[in-house]
């Protein structure tokens, strides 16, 4: 036994870099928006000897727990000190905490919609329509305003069910901040109905007015929308939840006139316009209106609120763990962001984040050799590789008469054009020789309740439906095609064998005679 | 060098590693007795040596029953971990206790969860610490680091502590719990397992037994002011009854160097626990560091089409890959329905035989489930699974334990299920290939399918109408009934998805039921403090230990991790089989082939009587042409480790966690061959679609099973087959057909048919017309004699 102990000791001593680091365990709580990323990092650093506990209880709860000293760090989409529904969220004592961005992502619009029993995967929405959907202004999917966004779809007259967060949520704060900034009038109107003071601004607690349905947590809203019984529902949730559920997300119209999906690259491009305040909190005004055709308007960061002073339960030993954990996820952990349904942080924010890490008591990260940081967005010239390499959107994603068929989010199936008036387009390479850039507005007057028929401005429709209507035969295969094929076969047989047989039959009596 | 490390590892495992878990626990099990009032108490700690961060079974006999039923007022044990170099045992200042002080809904008593030791009532005459004028005095915590904190402070808290403030003794005087032993990594204030003078630091497990007498000698229910104990276990009089057992730890695990670029591994949850064990062994001695990202099978497969897929893990293969893809089996486990069901008879008032109710609170360890019973549980078909007494469920039993269909094959529950409340199965939100296999198992059973299609079972129970004619298989668990019980504000509504939700993944589900947690939320009767216009919701109270009745879908590794028994499922041969190593092994012999040679999936229709119907084989998949030479070498090394030393069952770094079945030799060979192909072909680009890449030629050491079809030409890899692209879900294909109200389209759709009918009519009509015309020409008299 003694020999064994010696052997073990030798084995361990022979490998000094693999010796345990004796990290102190730390605990945190907060955002479900970024939970899918944080939870994965937490699991991966176990191999570095770290034990991180994290409870995804929502941003509001995370901020409250941090303020009360119950956790070592919090994760939140919004900072302290903001006034929400007339109540100021009082921050902890100055000089005891700092903000650090941890991961970027798109707040996506996950929906459950079918046409003739087939899931729609290529829905597009403009900002105003989204705002009206979530404030009760649009109640049917056949609404002309939705049809205008979707020239390739003829949507059913089904009730729109907006699904919102019922708990205190940073996702709600992000979403309502965007509505307040972009469509303040419509949003304020809704707030007034909910008896909130206006101008309403952002809120973590979404006002719940029927037919809106409230659900708790990001997983709660996603699981509600994905049920078959929830057809017609739509919610706002971080992209990874929709992707994991195998559900599509709406492409959102940006200010350049393109409908864009919140993929990692679109988020990275959009956030190049984010204004980072002195304390690293974000001003997203310019992100919402980013003029780059590739940008997703509802892009944002999630934040860690970390202690920069000892006190309460927090000490230098914990600071050592927290600083190494933070270094891990700002650099290496960002490699996972895209795979998880997020977007990696760009270099300027990683650099600013590492400055915050250096302020943690007991930090191990005093020198900031950023070249060792294995972050996928970094390039030699300091630009964001991800944004630089982001492809231009295809022409079929442009506002107008065409609509791409490709599925979005976690839905891989295409949606075929079911609106005879529009031309579908499968081109994803950004080169579309046939796309018609004419940005012709739909005529609301021409759009009826049951026969939604947007006018396209293209001559193709006036010259008869035959050319664009041919794909109908393709869609037939899905449904009652077998019956038709039988009928056709029988008719073919009759057509071929009919004439000789009939003539023979007609001849026979003559022969008898 | 690598060989030497491997040899060393093998040597270490040969000497130190225990053939089986039970044997290891036997070898260092310790039993100790109590003293004084607790002299009859005998406590057994199943393993006291070579500990790592793991659970240790602590069981006891000769105690008094915890009371009253379902509550912790008197006669329970308080269990904690302490450090202390004194051979006599630890001081109370060295114990990790008090972290759960602020947790509500956990036991009774003012100070029973606390480090507070000085109070006016009950006043402890033996307590040396004076009661300060300011009020409370707490036991300091003296950390192993030398630091002393006034209370538990910075060293542990509710999120990290392993203390068990209330452990229940059953009516027969026995009880047991699984106690989490923590190393220095989990509890740095204790430092267990840290190497000091070349030996890992030992620690202590301390049990403070509690009776019905308070520190001041008064009895609960007699002359004590409260109806339950109030004092802290650290109060001097209580502390003097402590029973300490020495725990020896292995040296704290090696850790990987931080800041090194990780090789990405992406895949489903089944392999997560194994990879977490392999990671620290793989990085040892300058080895590669791997980072794991858990995603649903479908997303992992999609990743194979990306520029740099790395290595992914799924159950089913990618049916039509764009590039040659290599598959290697790396882990075998089972898809299980775990349960925590504790005996709950009608109690002494009804059960005449004391032997019956004295066993109340014991865990039931075996459960038989048919496909129809699982279908009932997964479709919210028991009446109480949906709030609000829905009329369409009114003829159904309220819960599983009242269902005659269930009781017929689970005799024990006729007595012990009386007060249980098993309503459904906590299932994961994440899509899994294995879930398709589970639904296939249900779908293949005539009775279950008939039930889902609306036929009542022999006892008249019908499927929840929201699931009728459910199309199967599915990769997930629908919650099709979203009904709410409408209650006046702020009392409700109480909704199905909120009160009985889905878990995030298998681990969350397993952990939740082991803690008696449904993960649900219920209206708390008050307005939401953050927004008073909404009703407030609180976490559903946890079911108390001894009264738990919950089920969850998990993998067998998760079941083992949380100490959960798994149900015996009825296989296609009609036998109830639990996911034991033998039954998983038998299931491996009857797997179904897939489009990809060498990749096989669960076959719930297999008729081997001994086989568990839902095994899971995790395959690692890689695209050698989409990685560079260095990556290929490292992934090959990963596969060789995973299918070699990584298949030894054990608790140490690098070893296979319990719940996995070590790969049989044939699968290990297959993995080894795949590793060779990846190493050889990595970095060699595919030149043209028509020329089979040189890398994928059939080389002598590259037999068919290691690579999939496109990797072994004839098929040119870059030409996608005409099959619909692989997808884990049977979700409707999203090609759209027209909404029914489209006259234009209808006409077009039937234009061809109309034309053909017209043509057919013309065929018949043509000759008739000619006859008619000739008749007209010839005159009416010839009509009766047609034909020329």
Instruction: State whether B165 and B285 are in the same domain.
Output: no
Local confidence band at A13 (pLDDT 50, 70, 90 cut-offs): very low
Question: Touching check for A245 and chain B: CB below 8 Å?
Answer: yes
**Chain A closest CA to B252's CA: distance in Å?**
7
Nearest CB to A24 within list B188, B537, B727? B188
pLDDT of residue B763: 65
**Chain A closest CA to B513's CA: distance in Å?**
17
pLDDT of residue A373: 85
Residue B588 lies in a domain: no
pLDDT of residue A349: 84
For residues A348 and A101, the answer to whether their CB atoms sit within 8 Å is no
Local confidence band at B226 (pLDDT 50, 70, 90 cut-offs): confident
Q: Is the dihedral of CA A492, A494, A496, A499 positive or negative?
A: negative
Give percent of chain B with pLDDT exceeding 70.
Answer: 83
Q: Which backbone phi and psi does B256 adopt, to 5 degrees?
A: -80, 150
- In the predicted model, what is the mean pLDDT of residues B649-677? 95
Q: Flag the least confident range among A143-157, A245-259, A269-283, B469-483.
A: A269-283
Question: Touching check for B278 and chain A: CB below 8 Å?
Answer: no
Residues of chain B neighbouring A40 (CB-CB closer than 8 A): 292-294
Question: Touching check for A513 and chain B: CB below 8 Å?
Answer: yes
For residues B382 and B423, the answer to whether their CB atoms sit within 8 Å is yes
Inter-chain residue contact A230 with B482, CB threshold 8 Å? yes
Residues of chain A neighbouring B154 (CB-CB closer than 8 A): 312-315, 317-318
- In the predicted model, what is the mean pLDDT of residues A7-14? 39
- In the predicted model, what is the mean pLDDT of residues B185-190? 89
Residue B367 lies in a domain: no
Contact map slice: A 341-370 vs B, CB within 8 A: none
pLDDT of residue B428: 96
For residues B291 and A52, the answer to whether their CB atoms sit within 8 Å is no
Q: Flag the least confident range among A374-378, B332-336, B513-517, B713-717.
A: B713-717
Residues of chain B neighbouring A327 (CB-CB closer than 8 A): 258-259
Residues of chain B neighbouring A233 (CB-CB closer than 8 A): none
pLDDT of residue B427: 97
Q: What is the domain-level CATH number for residue B635? A: 3.40.190.10
In B539-696, which ranges are continuous DSSP H helix?
556-561, 581-588, 629-643, 665-681
Question: Touching check for B536 and chain A: CB below 8 Å?
Answer: no
Residue B384 lies in a domain: no
Instruction: State whether B667 and B703 are in the same domain.
Output: yes
Nearest CB to B734 within list A229, A413, A472? A413
pLDDT tens-digit map of B417-440? 999 999 999 999 999 999 999 999
Question: Touching check for A8 and chain B: CB below 8 Å?
Answer: yes
Local confidence band at B122 (pLDDT 50, 70, 90 cut-offs): confident
Integer Cα distance of A459 and A468 in angstroms: 11
Give percent of chain B with pLDDT exceeding 90.
Answer: 62
Residues of chain B neighbouring A228 (CB-CB closer than 8 A): 478, 480
Q: Flag the least confident range among A432-446, B486-500, B643-657, B669-683.
A: A432-446
Question: Touching check for B255 and chain A: CB below 8 Å?
Answer: yes
Question: Touching check for B780 and chain A: CB below 8 Å?
Answer: no
Single pTM value for the model: 0.79
Local confidence band at B103 (pLDDT 50, 70, 90 cut-offs): confident
Integer Cα distance of B554 and B335 in angstroms: 6
Residue of A3, A20, A421 to mutate when probing chain B, most B C-beta within 10 A: A20
pLDDT at residue B398 above 90? yes
Q: Flag the least confident range among A161-175, B468-482, B632-646, B720-734.
A: B720-734
Instruction: State whether B227 and B104 are in the same domain.
Output: yes
Instruction: State whether B742 and B610 are in the same domain.
Output: yes
Instruction: State whether B98 and B223 are in the same domain.
Output: yes
Question: Touching check for A376 and chain B: CB below 8 Å?
Answer: no
Instruction: State whether B621 and B714 are in the same domain.
Output: yes
pLDDT of residue B3: 45
Q: Identify the burial level of A322 via C-beta atoms within 10 angstroms of its C-beta, where 0-12 means exposed, 13-18 middle and 19 or more buried.
A: buried
Residues of chain A neighbouring B280 (CB-CB closer than 8 A): 18, 47
Q: Which backbone phi and psi does B535 adopt, to 5 degrees?
A: -70, 150
Local confidence band at B131 (pLDDT 50, 70, 90 cut-offs): confident
pLDDT tens-digit map of A389-446? 899 999 999 999 899 999 999 888 899 888 865 544 444 443 333 333 333 333 333 3
Domain that holds residue B219: 34-247
Helix (H) or strand (E) segment spanning residue B281: helix B272-283
Residues of chain B neighbouring A385 (CB-CB closer than 8 A): none
Instruction: State whether B87 and B168 are in the same domain.
Output: yes
pLDDT of residue A369: 72
Question: Touching check for A139 and chain B: CB below 8 Å?
Answer: no
Instruction: State whether B233 and B275 are in the same domain.
Output: no
pLDDT at residue B178 above 70? yes
CA neighbor of A60 nearest in space, from A188, A147, A170: A170
Residues of chain B neighbouring A4 (CB-CB closer than 8 A): 15-16
**Chain A closest CA to B134's CA: distance in Å?**
20
Residue B327 lies in a domain: yes
Instruction: State whether B107 and B159 are in the same domain.
Output: yes
- In the predicted model, what is the mean pLDDT of residues A296-309? 95
Inter-chain residue contact A12 with B254, CB threshold 8 Å? yes
pLDDT of residue A499: 66
Question: Touching check for B735 and chain A: CB below 8 Å?
Answer: yes
Residues of chain B neighbouring A17 (CB-CB closer than 8 A): 257, 286
pLDDT at residue B319 above 60? yes
The dihedral over CA atoms of B449, B268, B253, B27, expressed in degrees to the nearest 10, equals 20
- In the predicted model, what is the mean pLDDT of residues B355-370? 90
Helix, coil or strand: residue B107: coil
Nearest CB to A22 within list B188, B534, B737? B188
Whole-angstrom distance between the N-terminal and C-terminal Cα of chain A? 117
User: What is the CB-side half-sphere exposure of residue A394 using CA atoms within 13 A?
Assistant: 19
Instruction: State whether B168 and B228 are in the same domain.
Output: yes
Helix (H) or strand (E) segment spanning residue A87: strand A87-88
Question: Touching check for A117 and chain B: CB below 8 Å?
Answer: yes
Question: Touching check for A1 and chain B: CB below 8 Å?
Answer: no
pLDDT at residue A2 above 50? no
Integer Cα distance of A464 and A368 in angstroms: 67
pLDDT at residue B188 above 90? no
**Chain B closest CA to A498's CA: distance in Å?**
6
Integer Cα distance of B326 and B468 in angstroms: 41
**Chain A closest CA to B416's CA: distance in Å?**
34
Residue B319 lies in a domain: yes
Question: Touching check for B252 and chain A: CB below 8 Å?
Answer: yes
Residue B92 lies in a domain: yes
Contact map slice: B 87-146 vs A, CB within 8 A: 145
Instruction: State whether B192 and B280 are in the same domain.
Output: no
Question: Touching check for B786 and chain A: CB below 8 Å?
Answer: yes
Residue B84 lies in a domain: yes
Inter-chain residue contact A17 with B286, CB threshold 8 Å? yes
Chain centroid, CA B692 distance in Å: 43
Integer Cα distance of B731 and A118 in angstroms: 9
Whether omega for the bond prior to residue B490 falls within 30 degrees of 0, making it cis, is yes
**Chain B closest CA to A125's CA: distance in Å?**
19
Integer Cα distance of B272 and B265 in angstroms: 10
Nearest CB to B741 within list A451, A478, A484? A451
Integer Cα distance of B679 and B624 in angstroms: 8
Residue B591 lies in a domain: no
Residues of chain A neighbouring B318 (CB-CB closer than 8 A): none
Contact map slice: B 502-521 vs A, CB within 8 A: 502, 504, 521
Which structure tokens are listed for B165? Answer: 């403030």
Nearest CB to A48 within list B11, B256, B501? B256
Give B730's contacts (C-beta < 8 A, 6+ positions apart).
Answer: B471, B472, B473, B474, B475
Residue with tokens 């039931």: B364
Nearest CB to B734 within list A24, A243, A411? A411
Inter-chain residue contact B16 with A24, CB threshold 8 Å? no
pLDDT of residue A253: 97
Which structure tokens are listed for B784? Answer: 């009766």
Beta bridge partners of B177: B58
For residues A249 and A268, the answer to whether their CB atoms sit within 8 Å is no
Instruction: State whether B213 and B94 are in the same domain.
Output: yes
If one counts the domains in chain B, the total is 2
Q: Is the dihedral of CA B557, B562, B564, B567 positive or negative?
A: negative
Residue with tokens 């469509």: A183
pLDDT of residue B756: 63
């Amino acid at each position: 036994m003694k020999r064994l102990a010696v052997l073990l000791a030798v084995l361990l001593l022979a490998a000094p870099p693999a010796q345990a680091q004796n990290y102190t365990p730390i605990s945190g709580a907060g955002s479900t928006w970024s939970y899918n990323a944080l939870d994965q990092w937490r699991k991966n650093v176990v191999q570095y000897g770290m034990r991180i506990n994290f409870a995804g209880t929502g941003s509001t709860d995370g901020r409250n727990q941090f303020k009360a000293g119950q956790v070592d760090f919090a994760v939140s989409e919004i900072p302290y000190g903001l006034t929400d529904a007339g109540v100021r969220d009082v921050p902890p004592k100055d000089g005891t905490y700092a903000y650090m961005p941890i991961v970027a992502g798109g707040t996506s619009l996950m929906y459950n919609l079918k046409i003739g029993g087939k899931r729609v995967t290529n829905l597009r929405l403009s900002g105003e329509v989204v705002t009206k959907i979530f404030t009760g202004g649009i109640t049917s999917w056949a609404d002309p305003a939705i049809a205008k966004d979707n020239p390739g779809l003829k949507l059913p007259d089904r009730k729109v069910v907006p699904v919102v967060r019922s708990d205190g949520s940073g996702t709600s704060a992000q979403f309502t901040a965007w509505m307040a900034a972009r469509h303040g009038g419509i949003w304020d109107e809704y707030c007034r109905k909910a008896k909130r003071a206006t101008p309403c601004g952002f809120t973590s607690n979404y006002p719940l007015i029927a037919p809106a349905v409230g659900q708790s947590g990001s997983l709660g809203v996603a699981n509600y929308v994905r049920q078959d019984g929830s057809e017609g529902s739509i919610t706002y949730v971080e992209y990874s939840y929709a992707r994991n559920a195998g559900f599509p997300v709406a492409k959102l119209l940006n200010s350049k006139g393109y409908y864009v999906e919140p993929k990692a690259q679109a988020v990275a491009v959009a956030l190049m316009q984010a204004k980072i305040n002195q304390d690293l909190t974000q001003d997203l005004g310019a992100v919402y209106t980013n003029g780059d055709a590739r940008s997703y308007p509802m892009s944002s960061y999630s934040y860690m609120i970390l202690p920069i002073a000892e006190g309460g339960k927090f000490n230098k030993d914990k600071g050592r763990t927290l600083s190494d954990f933070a270094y891990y996820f700002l650099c290496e952990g960002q490699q996972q962001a895209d795979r998880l349904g997020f977007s990696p942080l760009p270099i300027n924010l990683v650099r600013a984040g590492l400055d915050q890490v250096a302020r943690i008591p007991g930090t191990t990260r005093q020198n900031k050799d950023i070249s060792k940081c294995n972050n996928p967005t970094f390039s030699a010239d300091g630009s964001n590789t991800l944004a630089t390499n982001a492809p231009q959107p295809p022409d079929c994603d442009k506002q107008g008469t065409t609509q791409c068929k490709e599925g979005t989010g976690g839905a891989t199936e295409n949606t075929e054009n079911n609106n005879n008036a529009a031309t579908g387009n499968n081109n994803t390479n950004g080169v579309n020789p046939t796309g018609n850039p004419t940005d012709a507005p739909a005529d609301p007057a021409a759009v009826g309740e049951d026969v939604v028929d947007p006018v396209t401005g293209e001559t193709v429709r006036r010259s008869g439906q035959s050319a664009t209507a041919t794909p109908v035969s393709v869609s037939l295969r899905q449904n009652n095609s077998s019956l038709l094929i039988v009928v056709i076969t029988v008719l073919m047989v009759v057509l071929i064998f009919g004439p000789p047989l009939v003539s023979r039959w007609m001849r026979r009596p003559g022969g008898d005679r | 060098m690598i060989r030497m490390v491997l040899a060393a590892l093998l040597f270490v495992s040969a000497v130190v590693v225990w053939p089986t878990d039970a044997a290891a626990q036997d070898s260092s099990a310790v039993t100790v007795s109590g003293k004084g009032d607790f002299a009859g108490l005998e406590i057994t700690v199943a393993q006291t040596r070579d500990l790592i961060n793991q659970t240790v079974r602590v069981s006891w006999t000769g105690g008094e029953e915890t009371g009253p039923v379902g509550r912790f007022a008197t006669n329970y044990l308080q269990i904690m971990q302490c450090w202390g170099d004194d051979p006599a045992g630890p001081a109370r200042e060295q114990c990790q206790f008090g972290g759960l002080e602020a947790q509500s809904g956990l036991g009774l008593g003012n100070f029973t969860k606390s480090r507070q030791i000085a109070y006016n009532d009950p006043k402890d005459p033996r307590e040396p610490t004076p009661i300060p004028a300011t009020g409370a005095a707490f036991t300091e915590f003296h950390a192993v680091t030398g630091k002393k904190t006034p209370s538990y402070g910075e060293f542990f808290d509710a999120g990290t502590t392993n203390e068990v403030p209330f452990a229940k003794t059953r009516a027969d005087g026995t009880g047991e719990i699984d106690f989490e032993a923590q190393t220095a990594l989990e509890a740095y204030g204790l430092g267990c397992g840290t190497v000091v003078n070349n030996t890992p630091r030992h620690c202590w497990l301390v049990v403070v037994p509690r009776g019905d007498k308070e520190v001041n000698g008064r009895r609960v229910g007699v002359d004590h002011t409260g109806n339950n104990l109030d004092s802290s276990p650290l109060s001097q009089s209580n502390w003097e009854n402590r029973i300490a057992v020495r725990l020896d730890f292995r040296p704290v695990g090696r850790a990987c160097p931080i800041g090194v670029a990780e090789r990405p591994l992406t895949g489903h949850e089944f392999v997560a626990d194994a990879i977490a064990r392999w990671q620290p062994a793989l990085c040892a001695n300058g080895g590669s560091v791997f980072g794991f990202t858990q995603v649903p099978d479908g997303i992992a497969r999609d990743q194979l089409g990306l520029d740099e897929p790395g290595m992914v893990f799924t159950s089913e293969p990618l049916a039509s890959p764009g590039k040659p893809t290599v598959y290697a089996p790396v882990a075998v486990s089972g898809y299980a329905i775990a349960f925590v069901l504790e005996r709950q008879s009608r109690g002494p008032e009804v059960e005449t035989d004391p032997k019956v109710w004295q066993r109340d609170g014991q865990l039931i360890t075996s459960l038989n489930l048919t496909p129809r019973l699982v279908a009932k549980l997964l479709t919210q078909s028991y009446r109480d699974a949906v709030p609000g007494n829905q009329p369409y469920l009114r003829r159904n039993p309220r819960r599983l334990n009242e269902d005659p269909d269930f009781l017929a094959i689970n005799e024990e529950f006729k007595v012990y299920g009386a007060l249980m409340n098993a309503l459904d199965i906590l299932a994961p939100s994440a899509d899994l290939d294995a879930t398709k296999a589970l639904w296939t198992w249900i779908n293949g059973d005539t009775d279950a399918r008939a039930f889902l299609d609306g036929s009542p079972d022999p006892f008249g129970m019908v499927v929840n109408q929201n699931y009728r004619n459910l199309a199967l298989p599915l990769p997930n668990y629908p919650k099709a009934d979203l009904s709410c019980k409408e209650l006046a504000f702020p009392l409700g509504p109480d909704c199905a998805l909120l009160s009985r939700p889905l878990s995030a993944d298998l681990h969350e589900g397993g952990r939740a039921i082991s803690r008696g947690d449904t993960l649900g939320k219920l209206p708390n009767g008050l307005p939401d403090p953050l927004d008073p216009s909404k009703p407030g919701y609180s976490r559903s109270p946890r079911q108390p230990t001894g009264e738990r009745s919950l089920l969850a879908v998990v993998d067998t590794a998760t079941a083992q991790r949380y100490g959960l028994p798994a149900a015996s499922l009825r296989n296609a041969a009609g036998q109830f089989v639990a996911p034991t190593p033998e039954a998983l092994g038998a299931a491996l012999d009857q797997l179904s082939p897939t489009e990809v040679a060498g990749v096989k999936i669960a076959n719930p229709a297999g008729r081997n009587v001994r086989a568990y119907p839902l095994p899971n084989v995790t395959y690692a998949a890689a695209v050698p042409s989409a990685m560079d030479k260095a990556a290929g070498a490292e992934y090959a090394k990963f596969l060789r480790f995973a299918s070699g030393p990584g298949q030894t069952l054990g608790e140490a770094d690098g070893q296979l966690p319990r719940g996995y079945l070590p790969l049989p030799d044939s699968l290990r060979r297959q993995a080894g061959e795949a590793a060779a192909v990846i190493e050889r072909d990595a970095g060699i680009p595919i030149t043209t679609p028509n020329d089979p890449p040189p890398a994928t030629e059939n080389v002598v050491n590259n037999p068919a099973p290691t690579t999939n079809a496109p990797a072994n030409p004839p098929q040119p890899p870059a030409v996608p087959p005409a099959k619909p692209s692989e997808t884990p879900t049977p979700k409707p294909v999203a090609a759209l057909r027209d909404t029914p109200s489209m006259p234009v389209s209808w006409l077009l759709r039937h234009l061809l048919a109309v034309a053909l009918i017209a043509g057919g009519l013309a065929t018949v009509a043509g000759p008739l017309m000619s006859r008619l015309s000739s008749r007209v020409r010839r005159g009416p008299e010839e009509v009766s004699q047609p034909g020329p």
